[in-house]
Chains A and B, each alone.
Chain A
Amino acid sequence: GEQVEQRPPHLSVPEGDSAVIICTYTDSATAYFYWYKQEPGAGLQLLMSVFSNVDRKEEQGLTVLLNKKDKQLSLNLTAAHPGDSAVYFCVGYGGSGNKLIFGTGTLLSVKP
């Protein structure tokens, strides 16, 4: 079935720098992608959804790039601040089985 690999598992950046998280998926039939943020002890907050007919989407300091040829999805947080510190998950939907498939998560730490 579909697998979503996410890297890096840990990422530490100074405040004001950019942070980039990359995901690779296996099933080219995956049609929908999402990014979720999980703060300690909290649920998952939906950051952005991207459909497979879109190559690039920007919202509120976040940029998602989708490279269907390489089956790669990336999230770029520009000008990160300490409030961005959390675990970020990339998620795919579609392909084999109509369900969300989660990546392994990236723990982002933004140092003031």
Chain B
Amino acid sequence: DPKIIQKPKYLVAVTGSEKILICEQYLGHNAMYWYRQSAKKPLEFMFSYSYQKLMDNQTASSRFQPQSSKKNHLDLQITALKPDDSATYFCASSQGLGGSYEQYFGPGTRLTVL
């Protein structure tokens, strides 16, 4: 059974709209993350959460808002979508924060903004 679930797998949106990417982990981890993989850049860190609290935000735009309704959920709301937001978004989790804790990744949500 998949331990980290991301929904949907594929998402197509129009410019200016809003979408929510879902992530649930069943590893019992306390830290969760979002990463973005686009054609033009290496995989890049966006956010980290620990015990449902935002710990680090490396995203310049406030259009990206993580939401944690439960300890094992970390959704990503993206507003006012732009074509440059097209990318695959990966959710990850780890037992704790810090480099000694290995991060495990979900299968990703591929977002295309037209």
A61-112 interface with B by 8 A CB criterion: 89, 93-94, 97-105
Cα A46 to Cα B103 with chains together (Å): 8
B55-75 interface with A by 8 A CB criterion: 56, 58
Q: Are B90 and A43 in contact (CB under 8 A)?
A: yes
Cα A23 to Cα B102 with chains together (Å): 19
Chain A residues near B49: list those with CB within 8 A. Answer: none
B95-114 interface with A by 8 A CB criterion: 97-100, 102-108
Q: Are A99 and B48 in contact (CB under 8 A)?
A: yes
| Total number of A residues with any Cβ neighbor in B under 8 Å | 24
Chain B residues near A103: list those with CB within 8 A. Answer: 42
How far is the CB of A1 from the nearest CB of chain B, in Å? 10
Q: Are A94 and B99 in contact (CB under 8 A)?
A: yes
B44 contacts partner chain A, Cβ-Cβ < 8 Å: yes
Cα A100 to Cα B46 with chains together (Å): 10
Contact of B100 among A42, A51, A97 (CB under 8 A): A51
Contact with A along B7-32 (1 / 0, CB 8 A): 00000000000000000000000000
Most interface-central of A31, A89, A100, A104 (chain B CB within 10 A): A100
Contact of A49 among B45, B48, B102, B108 (CB under 8 A): B102
Contact of B105 among A4, A31, A43, A101 (CB under 8 A): A43
Cα A45 to Cα B92 with chains together (Å): 11
Chain B residues near A105: list those with CB within 8 A. Answer: 42
Residue numbers of A with Cβ under 8 A of B are 4, 31-32, 34, 36, 42-46, 49, 51, 89, 93-94, 97-105
**18 residue pairs A–B, Cβ–Cβ below 8 Å:** A4-B42, A31-B99, A32-B99, A42-B107, A43-B4, A43-B106, A43-B108, A44-B105, A46-B105, A89-B42, A93-B99, A98-B56, A98-B97, A99-B58, A100-B45, A100-B103, A101-B45, A105-B42
In the complex, the 4 A-B pairs of residues with the closest C-beta atoms, listed nearest first: A32-B99, A93-B99, A102-B43, A44-B105
